Amino acid sequence: MVSRIIDIQTTKIAIIWFSLLLSTFVNSEEEIGLFVMEQVPYGFVDDSGENTGVLFDIMHDISRYSEMNGLVKILPLKRLLAALLKDKKSCSLLADAPIVVENFDLIEPIGYQLLAGVLPVRGVKLNSYDDLKGPILAVPLGIQFDRKFNDDDSLNKVTPPQYIDAIRLMKRNRVQAVAGAIDVLRFLARKEGIALHFFDQPLIFIEKDLFLVCSKTLTKNERKTLQQSVIELRTSGRIQQLFADYLSL
């Protein structure tokens, strides 16, 4: 009788341990979500309805090099940040802004800087902030640099709803400069048939490195594998080539 009780208890303990081991295995095999921001030229749907973009392609390469082969999803920035904050394994390619540094694990820089500022037409020289007081500036809704720029009523600003609207205003000579991410502005200008010589040198307000960033739920091995994948892509020149292909005018 005593032997039977011991056997039953031993069986229960074995079942509990097996359940714990199975749970650990399932969690370690959890698929890592891979997200990129919805913004041309980073992640967008092309004319044929296919997902594309420079960060979309880079994330695909990271997934392939790390042999994770996860599905890359394009999300609006607010939804992307919310997805990263969930208690699940996930990664994205983002600039090292304060909200990113405070909440996520910066795995590895990809070797590219995000530049934001004001891009003028040829002949408009923006050497300092004071030079912004002359030309008409298109500032798409949502574009903010700092309190000084955002609240400066002495600047002659117009506020088109989107980047593309600002570029079209510039193309029609309605504005002399456009504010925003320089890569985005130049890419959209190319799509509108505007050549490189149309622009002068931008006045840069923000310079941020782009990183592979992940939620803090990854295992050490997953983190190391992803980090090594970024290093290999960066040192091989693959990331720089993708940016050159997308952003060249």
Token pair 């820089």 is at which residue?
A: 109
Q: What is the mean pLDDT of residues 24-35?
A: 65
Do 74 and 104 sit in the same domain of this protein? yes
Q: Is residue 220 in a domain?
A: yes
What does the pLDDT read at residue 247?
81
pTM here is 0.80
Q: What are 150-180's pLDDT values in tens digits?
A: 999 999 999 999 999 999 999 999 999 999 9
Do 57 and 134 sit in the same domain of this protein? no
In percent, how much of the chain has pLDDT > 70? 88
**Band of the pLDDT at 29, cuts 50, 70, 90?**
low
Does the structure show a pLDDT above 50 at 8?
A: no
Query: Beta-carbon neighbour count of residue 223 at 10 Å?
Result: 17
Least confident piece of the model among 84-88, 170-174, 198-202, 222-226 = 84-88
In percent, how much of the chain has pLDDT > 90? 72
For the domain that residue 161 is a member of, what is the CATH number?
3.40.190.10
Structural domain count, the chain: 2
Q: What is the mean pLDDT of residues 88-113?
A: 94
Do 121 and 169 sit in the same domain of this protein? yes
Instruction: Judge contact between 35 and 84, C-beta under 8 A.
Output: yes
Q: Which domain holds residue 69?
A: 30-111+210-247
Q: What is the mean pLDDT of residues 117-128?
A: 96
